[in-house]
Chain A
Amino acid sequence: MKKANILIVEDESIVAQEIKMCLENMGHAVASMAKRGEEAIIKAEEDLPDIVLMDIQLKGQMDGIEAADIIQSRLGVPVIFLTAYHDDERLERAKFTRPYGYVLKPFQERDLKITIEMALYAAEMEAWRKRAEEKLREQEKFQGVLEMAGAVCHELNQPLQSVSGFSELLFMDMETSDPNYESVKKIKSGIERIGGLTRKIMKITRYRSKSYLNKNKIIDIERASRYQEGGPL
Protein backbone atom coordinates (compact mmCIF):
# COMPACT_ATOMS: atom_id res chain seq x y z
CA MET A 1 0.00 0.00 0.00
CA LYS A 2 1.24 3.45 -0.90
CA LYS A 3 1.69 5.79 2.05
CA ALA A 4 -0.19 9.00 1.35
CA ASN A 5 0.06 12.52 2.68
CA ILE A 6 -3.49 13.58 3.51
CA LEU A 7 -5.20 16.87 4.27
CA ILE A 8 -8.23 16.55 6.57
CA VAL A 9 -10.93 19.21 6.21
CA GLU A 10 -13.35 18.85 9.11
CA ASP A 11 -14.95 21.52 11.28
CA GLU A 12 -15.45 19.26 14.31
CA SER A 13 -12.15 18.94 16.17
CA ILE A 14 -12.98 15.63 17.80
CA VAL A 15 -14.06 14.05 14.54
CA ALA A 16 -10.93 15.45 12.86
CA GLN A 17 -8.75 13.83 15.56
CA GLU A 18 -10.57 10.51 15.09
CA ILE A 19 -10.00 10.61 11.35
CA LYS A 20 -6.35 11.50 11.89
CA MET A 21 -5.80 8.51 14.20
CA CYS A 22 -7.61 6.27 11.81
CA LEU A 23 -5.42 7.40 8.88
CA GLU A 24 -2.23 7.01 10.90
CA ASN A 25 -3.32 3.48 11.84
CA MET A 26 -3.58 2.75 8.14
CA GLY A 27 -0.01 3.96 7.69
CA HIS A 28 -0.82 7.30 6.06
CA ALA A 29 0.49 10.68 7.21
CA VAL A 30 -1.68 13.68 7.94
CA ALA A 31 -0.15 16.69 6.24
CA SER A 32 -2.41 19.22 7.92
CA MET A 33 -5.97 19.88 9.07
CA ALA A 34 -8.40 22.66 8.17
CA LYS A 35 -11.79 23.70 9.53
CA ARG A 36 -12.94 26.06 6.80
CA GLY A 37 -13.08 25.86 3.04
CA GLU A 38 -10.85 28.91 2.51
CA GLU A 39 -8.29 27.50 4.95
CA ALA A 40 -8.41 24.14 3.17
CA ILE A 41 -7.51 25.78 -0.15
CA ILE A 42 -4.52 27.61 1.40
CA LYS A 43 -3.26 24.44 3.15
CA ALA A 44 -3.69 22.40 0.00
CA GLU A 45 -1.65 24.99 -1.90
CA GLU A 46 1.09 24.96 0.73
CA ASP A 47 1.33 21.23 1.36
CA LEU A 48 0.18 19.79 -1.98
CA PRO A 49 -1.16 16.64 -0.29
CA ASP A 50 -1.76 13.39 -2.16
CA ILE A 51 -5.44 13.41 -1.14
CA VAL A 52 -7.91 15.71 0.60
CA LEU A 53 -10.57 14.21 2.86
CA MET A 54 -13.31 16.80 2.71
CA ASP A 55 -16.33 17.27 4.94
CA ILE A 56 -19.18 19.03 3.13
CA GLN A 57 -20.75 21.04 5.94
CA LEU A 58 -18.04 23.48 7.11
CA LYS A 59 -17.84 26.61 9.17
CA GLY A 60 -17.61 29.84 7.21
CA GLN A 61 -18.91 31.03 3.83
CA MET A 62 -17.57 28.25 1.67
CA ASP A 63 -18.78 24.69 1.94
CA GLY A 64 -16.74 21.57 1.24
CA ILE A 65 -18.11 21.11 -2.29
CA GLU A 66 -17.01 24.58 -3.34
CA ALA A 67 -13.58 24.12 -1.73
CA ALA A 68 -13.19 20.70 -3.37
CA ASP A 69 -14.02 22.14 -6.76
CA ILE A 70 -11.30 24.79 -6.41
CA ILE A 71 -8.70 22.40 -5.00
CA GLN A 72 -9.25 19.79 -7.74
CA SER A 73 -9.45 22.18 -10.64
CA ARG A 74 -6.72 24.58 -9.59
CA LEU A 75 -4.26 22.24 -7.90
CA GLY A 76 -5.23 18.89 -9.39
CA VAL A 77 -5.28 17.35 -5.89
CA PRO A 78 -7.83 14.51 -5.65
CA VAL A 79 -10.65 14.97 -3.15
CA ILE A 80 -12.71 12.35 -1.29
CA PHE A 81 -15.86 13.58 0.42
CA LEU A 82 -16.31 12.30 3.95
CA THR A 83 -19.72 13.47 5.10
CA ALA A 84 -22.92 12.61 6.90
CA TYR A 85 -25.02 14.13 4.12
CA HIS A 86 -26.37 12.18 1.22
CA ASP A 87 -29.37 14.18 0.07
CA ASP A 88 -29.94 14.44 -3.68
CA GLU A 89 -29.15 18.13 -3.95
CA ARG A 90 -25.72 17.77 -2.29
CA LEU A 91 -24.94 14.61 -4.20
CA GLU A 92 -25.80 16.36 -7.45
CA ARG A 93 -23.50 19.32 -6.66
CA ALA A 94 -20.72 17.07 -5.37
CA LYS A 95 -20.87 14.95 -8.53
CA PHE A 96 -19.86 17.90 -10.70
CA THR A 97 -16.58 18.37 -8.80
CA ARG A 98 -15.66 14.85 -10.00
CA PRO A 99 -14.60 13.53 -6.58
CA TYR A 100 -12.40 10.46 -6.24
CA GLY A 101 -14.78 9.00 -3.62
CA TYR A 102 -17.77 9.69 -1.39
CA VAL A 103 -17.72 8.06 2.06
CA LEU A 104 -20.62 8.39 4.47
CA LYS A 105 -20.18 9.12 8.14
CA PRO A 106 -20.10 7.30 10.43
CA PHE A 107 -17.56 5.44 8.34
CA GLN A 108 -16.03 2.02 8.61
CA GLU A 109 -12.24 2.17 8.68
CA ARG A 110 -12.16 -0.55 6.01
CA ASP A 111 -14.37 1.49 3.64
CA LEU A 112 -12.22 4.59 4.03
CA LYS A 113 -9.04 2.56 3.54
CA ILE A 114 -10.32 1.02 0.31
CA THR A 115 -11.62 4.36 -1.00
CA ILE A 116 -8.26 6.06 -0.32
CA GLU A 117 -6.38 3.26 -2.00
CA MET A 118 -8.63 3.37 -5.10
CA ALA A 119 -8.39 7.16 -5.23
CA LEU A 120 -4.59 7.10 -5.01
CA TYR A 121 -4.42 4.63 -7.89
CA ALA A 122 -6.94 6.59 -9.98
CA ALA A 123 -5.04 9.84 -9.31
CA GLU A 124 -1.77 8.19 -10.32
CA MET A 125 -3.33 6.96 -13.56
CA GLU A 126 -4.83 10.38 -14.22
CA ALA A 127 -1.43 12.04 -13.69
CA TRP A 128 0.16 9.50 -16.02
CA ARG A 129 -2.52 10.12 -18.65
CA LYS A 130 -2.00 13.87 -18.38
CA ARG A 131 1.77 13.49 -18.78
CA ALA A 132 1.28 11.22 -21.82
CA GLU A 133 -1.17 13.69 -23.34
CA GLU A 134 1.21 16.58 -22.72
CA LYS A 135 4.05 14.61 -24.32
CA LEU A 136 1.90 13.81 -27.33
CA ARG A 137 0.89 17.46 -27.68
CA GLU A 138 4.54 18.49 -27.52
CA GLN A 139 5.44 15.93 -30.17
CA GLU A 140 2.61 17.09 -32.40
CA LYS A 141 3.68 20.69 -31.96
CA PHE A 142 7.27 19.78 -32.80
CA GLN A 143 6.17 17.80 -35.85
CA GLY A 144 4.05 20.76 -36.95
CA VAL A 145 7.04 23.10 -36.66
CA LEU A 146 9.22 20.68 -38.62
CA GLU A 147 6.64 20.27 -41.33
CA MET A 148 6.17 24.01 -41.56
CA ALA A 149 9.95 24.40 -41.92
CA GLY A 150 9.92 21.69 -44.58
CA ALA A 151 7.06 23.40 -46.43
CA VAL A 152 8.92 26.73 -46.38
CA CYS A 153 11.97 25.01 -47.88
CA HIS A 154 9.87 23.33 -50.54
CA GLU A 155 8.41 26.66 -51.56
CA LEU A 156 11.85 28.29 -51.54
CA ASN A 157 13.38 25.61 -53.71
CA GLN A 158 11.43 26.60 -56.81
CA PRO A 159 12.63 30.23 -57.03
CA LEU A 160 15.99 29.16 -55.64
CA GLN A 161 16.45 26.77 -58.56
CA SER A 162 15.96 29.58 -61.02
CA VAL A 163 18.25 32.03 -59.14
CA SER A 164 20.91 29.37 -58.70
CA GLY A 165 20.73 28.26 -62.35
CA PHE A 166 20.89 31.77 -63.80
CA SER A 167 23.79 32.73 -61.55
CA GLU A 168 25.56 29.56 -62.68
CA LEU A 169 24.94 30.53 -66.32
CA LEU A 170 26.26 34.06 -65.68
CA PHE A 171 29.32 32.69 -63.97
CA MET A 172 29.98 30.19 -66.77
CA ASP A 173 30.35 32.99 -69.33
CA MET A 174 32.40 35.27 -67.17
CA GLU A 175 36.12 35.91 -67.52
CA THR A 176 38.04 36.25 -64.26
CA SER A 177 39.02 39.73 -65.44
CA ASP A 178 35.36 40.79 -65.59
CA PRO A 179 34.71 43.58 -63.02
CA ASN A 180 31.59 41.69 -61.86
CA TYR A 181 33.33 38.34 -61.51
CA GLU A 182 33.91 38.53 -57.74
CA SER A 183 30.38 39.80 -57.08
CA VAL A 184 28.75 37.03 -59.12
CA LYS A 185 31.01 34.50 -57.42
CA LYS A 186 29.78 35.72 -54.03
CA ILE A 187 26.14 35.58 -55.13
CA LYS A 188 26.67 32.04 -56.36
CA SER A 189 28.30 30.89 -53.14
CA GLY A 190 25.54 32.55 -51.07
CA ILE A 191 22.89 30.70 -53.07
CA GLU A 192 24.76 27.44 -52.62
CA ARG A 193 24.69 28.01 -48.86
CA ILE A 194 20.93 28.61 -48.89
CA GLY A 195 20.51 25.48 -51.00
CA GLY A 196 22.58 23.50 -48.48
CA LEU A 197 20.39 24.78 -45.65
CA THR A 198 17.07 23.97 -47.31
CA ARG A 199 18.38 20.50 -48.13
CA LYS A 200 19.40 19.94 -44.49
CA ILE A 201 15.99 21.04 -43.23
CA MET A 202 14.19 18.89 -45.78
CA LYS A 203 16.23 15.90 -44.65
CA ILE A 204 14.97 16.19 -41.08
CA THR A 205 11.41 16.78 -42.18
CA ARG A 206 11.37 13.92 -44.66
CA TYR A 207 8.91 11.55 -43.11
CA ARG A 208 5.34 10.78 -43.95
CA SER A 209 3.49 13.93 -43.09
CA LYS A 210 0.01 13.86 -41.59
CA SER A 211 -3.07 14.87 -43.51
CA TYR A 212 -4.04 18.40 -42.66
CA LEU A 213 -7.17 20.36 -43.43
CA ASN A 214 -8.67 19.40 -46.74
CA LYS A 215 -6.49 16.26 -46.74
CA ASN A 216 -3.36 18.08 -47.84
CA LYS A 217 -0.26 16.05 -47.17
CA ILE A 218 1.93 19.05 -46.81
CA ILE A 219 1.32 22.54 -45.58
CA ASP A 220 0.53 24.68 -48.59
CA ILE A 221 1.85 28.10 -47.64
CA GLU A 222 -0.13 30.03 -50.25
CA ARG A 223 -3.37 28.33 -49.31
CA ALA A 224 -2.66 28.48 -45.58
CA SER A 225 -2.04 32.22 -45.70
CA ARG A 226 -5.30 32.76 -47.60
CA TYR A 227 -7.09 30.69 -44.93
CA GLN A 228 -5.40 32.70 -42.19
CA GLU A 229 -6.87 35.83 -43.73
CA GLY A 230 -10.35 34.32 -43.56
CA GLY A 231 -10.52 32.92 -47.08
CA PRO A 232 -11.57 29.39 -48.01
CA LEU A 233 -9.12 26.51 -48.03
Chain B
Amino acid sequence: MDEKRILVVDDEPHIRDMYSLAFSKAGYGFQKAESAEEALDILKKERYWVMFLDLNLPGMNGVDLCRRICKAYPMTISYAVTGYASLFDLNECREAGFDDYFIKPTSLADMVAAAEHAFMKLERWKQR
Protein backbone atom coordinates (compact mmCIF):
# COMPACT_ATOMS: atom_id res chain seq x y z
CA MET B 1 0.00 0.00 0.00
CA ASP B 2 2.46 2.59 -1.19
CA GLU B 3 0.04 5.26 -2.24
CA LYS B 4 -3.12 6.13 -0.40
CA ARG B 5 -5.65 5.63 -3.13
CA ILE B 6 -9.39 5.99 -2.99
CA LEU B 7 -12.03 4.63 -5.34
CA VAL B 8 -15.24 6.63 -5.64
CA VAL B 9 -18.32 5.28 -7.42
CA ASP B 10 -21.06 7.80 -8.24
CA ASP B 11 -23.20 8.19 -11.35
CA GLU B 12 -23.25 12.02 -11.17
CA PRO B 13 -20.26 13.56 -13.03
CA HIS B 14 -20.33 16.78 -10.93
CA ILE B 15 -20.12 14.80 -7.74
CA ARG B 16 -17.26 12.64 -9.07
CA ASP B 17 -15.35 15.84 -10.01
CA MET B 18 -15.96 17.32 -6.62
CA TYR B 19 -14.67 14.21 -4.80
CA SER B 20 -11.70 14.16 -7.12
CA LEU B 21 -10.79 17.74 -6.17
CA ALA B 22 -11.36 17.20 -2.46
CA PHE B 23 -9.41 13.94 -2.14
CA SER B 24 -6.57 15.10 -4.38
CA LYS B 25 -6.30 18.27 -2.31
CA ALA B 26 -6.10 16.11 0.84
CA GLY B 27 -3.22 14.20 -0.75
CA TYR B 28 -4.92 11.00 -1.82
CA GLY B 29 -4.69 9.16 -5.10
CA PHE B 30 -8.09 9.03 -6.69
CA GLN B 31 -9.98 6.88 -9.14
CA LYS B 32 -13.59 7.35 -10.14
CA ALA B 33 -16.20 5.07 -11.65
CA GLU B 34 -19.72 5.87 -12.76
CA SER B 35 -21.23 2.43 -12.21
CA ALA B 36 -20.76 -0.72 -10.15
CA GLU B 37 -19.80 -2.59 -13.30
CA GLU B 38 -17.05 -0.07 -14.12
CA ALA B 39 -15.79 -0.24 -10.52
CA LEU B 40 -15.52 -4.04 -10.73
CA ASP B 41 -13.55 -3.72 -13.97
CA ILE B 42 -11.15 -1.24 -12.35
CA LEU B 43 -10.69 -3.55 -9.37
CA LYS B 44 -9.65 -6.37 -11.66
CA LYS B 45 -6.66 -4.26 -12.71
CA GLU B 46 -5.83 -2.25 -9.58
CA ARG B 47 -6.23 -2.77 -5.86
CA TYR B 48 -8.07 -0.13 -3.78
CA TRP B 49 -8.39 -0.31 -0.01
CA VAL B 50 -10.70 2.61 0.69
CA MET B 51 -13.90 3.26 -1.22
CA PHE B 52 -16.88 5.58 -1.21
CA LEU B 53 -19.86 4.03 -2.96
CA ASP B 54 -23.05 5.78 -3.97
CA LEU B 55 -25.94 3.40 -3.32
CA ASN B 56 -28.46 4.36 -5.97
CA LEU B 57 -26.52 3.43 -9.09
CA PRO B 58 -27.80 2.48 -12.51
CA GLY B 59 -27.45 -1.30 -12.95
CA MET B 60 -26.05 -3.01 -9.87
CA ASN B 61 -26.66 -0.90 -6.77
CA GLY B 62 -24.02 0.14 -4.25
CA VAL B 63 -25.09 -2.37 -1.60
CA ASP B 64 -24.63 -5.33 -3.94
CA LEU B 65 -21.37 -3.86 -5.18
CA CYS B 66 -20.10 -3.64 -1.60
CA ARG B 67 -21.11 -7.27 -1.00
CA ARG B 68 -19.14 -8.36 -4.08
CA ILE B 69 -16.07 -6.31 -3.12
CA CYS B 70 -16.04 -7.41 0.52
CA LYS B 71 -16.32 -11.05 -0.52
CA ALA B 72 -13.38 -10.77 -2.91
CA TYR B 73 -11.31 -8.33 -0.80
CA PRO B 74 -12.32 -8.60 2.87
CA MET B 75 -9.77 -5.97 4.03
CA THR B 76 -11.43 -3.21 2.01
CA ILE B 77 -12.89 -0.32 3.98
CA SER B 78 -15.95 1.00 2.25
CA TYR B 79 -18.30 3.86 2.97
CA ALA B 80 -21.86 4.23 1.70
CA VAL B 81 -22.96 7.63 0.44
CA THR B 82 -26.60 8.11 -0.39
CA GLY B 83 -29.31 10.67 -0.94
CA TYR B 84 -31.90 7.89 -0.71
CA ALA B 85 -31.75 7.01 2.96
CA SER B 86 -35.21 5.45 3.01
CA LEU B 87 -34.42 3.10 0.14
CA PHE B 88 -31.25 1.74 1.69
CA ASP B 89 -31.43 0.71 5.28
CA LEU B 90 -28.45 1.16 7.60
CA ASN B 91 -28.75 -2.45 8.82
CA GLU B 92 -28.61 -3.73 5.27
CA CYS B 93 -25.54 -1.58 4.59
CA ARG B 94 -23.72 -2.88 7.65
CA GLU B 95 -24.61 -6.43 6.71
CA ALA B 96 -23.24 -5.83 3.19
CA GLY B 97 -19.91 -4.77 4.72
CA PHE B 98 -20.01 -0.96 4.81
CA ASP B 99 -18.01 0.63 7.62
CA ASP B 100 -20.10 3.78 7.74
CA TYR B 101 -22.95 5.54 6.05
CA PHE B 102 -23.13 9.13 4.85
CA ILE B 103 -26.37 10.81 3.90
CA LYS B 104 -26.13 13.42 1.15
CA PRO B 105 -25.51 16.30 1.39
CA THR B 106 -22.48 15.38 3.48
CA SER B 107 -19.52 17.59 4.23
CA LEU B 108 -16.28 16.90 2.36
CA ALA B 109 -14.36 17.45 5.56
CA ASP B 110 -16.25 14.52 7.12
CA MET B 111 -15.47 12.32 4.13
CA VAL B 112 -11.79 13.26 4.14
CA ALA B 113 -11.70 12.54 7.90
CA ALA B 114 -13.30 9.14 7.23
CA ALA B 115 -10.64 8.40 4.59
CA GLU B 116 -7.90 9.45 6.99
CA HIS B 117 -9.34 7.19 9.65
CA ALA B 118 -9.58 4.28 7.21
CA PHE B 119 -5.92 4.57 6.20
CA MET B 120 -4.86 4.74 9.84
CA LYS B 121 -6.81 1.55 10.50
CA LEU B 122 -5.21 -0.17 7.50
CA GLU B 123 -1.77 0.93 8.69
CA ARG B 124 -2.45 -0.68 12.07
CA TRP B 125 -3.63 -3.90 10.45
CA LYS B 126 -0.51 -3.94 8.30
CA GLN B 127 1.72 -3.85 11.37
CA ARG B 128 0.19 -6.99 12.86
Give A residues with C-beta under 8 Å from B: 150, 154-155, 157-166, 168-169, 172, 191, 195, 198-199, 202, 205-207, 209, 217-218
Contact = CB atoms under 8 A, between A and B. Distances in A.
B18 A172 contact: no
Interface stretch (B27-35, B40-48, B67-75, B101-109): B101-109
Interface string B7-37: 0000010110011011001000000000000
Given A157-B105, A205-B86, A217-B87, A162 B14 contact: yes
Nearest to B111: A165
A206 B86 contact: yes
A161 B106 contact: yes
Contacts of A155: 83
Contacts of A158: 12, 15, 83, 104
Given A158-B12, A169-B18, A218 B108 contact: no
Contacts of B84: 154, 157, 218
Contact of B18 (A162, A191, A199, A206): A162
Interface of B: 12, 14-15, 18-19, 21-22, 25, 83-87, 103-109
A225 B84 CA distance: 19
Contact of B83 (A157, A169, A205): A157
Nearest to B19: A165
A13 B18 CA distance: 89
Nearest 6 interchain pairs by C-beta: A157-B83, A165-B18, A162-B14, A161-B104, A164-B105, A157-B104
From B85, B86, B106, B108, name the one whose CB has the most chain A CB atoms within 10 angstroms.
Answer: B86
Nearest to A172: B25
A209 B89 CA distance: 12
Contact of A169 (B22, B86, B87, B104): B22
Contacts of A163: 105
Contacts of B18: 161-162, 165-166, 169
Contacts of A217: 87
Contacts of B83: 154-155, 157-158, 160-161
Nearest to B103: A199
Nearest to B85: A202
A191 B22 contact: no
Contacts of A159: 14
A168 B15 contact: no
Contact of A168 (B14, B104, B109): B109
Given A158-B15, A202-B85, A202-B86, A169 B21 contact: yes
Contacts of A191: 105
18 contacts: A155-B83, A158-B15, A159-B14, A160-B83, A160-B104, A160-B105, A161-B83, A161-B104, A162-B15, A165-B15, A165-B18, A165-B19, A168-B22, A168-B107, A169-B22, A172-B25, A202-B86, A218-B87
A212 B108 CA distance: 35
Nearest to A209: B86
B85 A161 contact: no
B108 A168 contact: yes
Contacts of B22: 165, 168-169
Nearest to B16: A162
Nearest to B86: A206
B68 to A, nearest CB: 23
A143 to B, nearest CB: 13
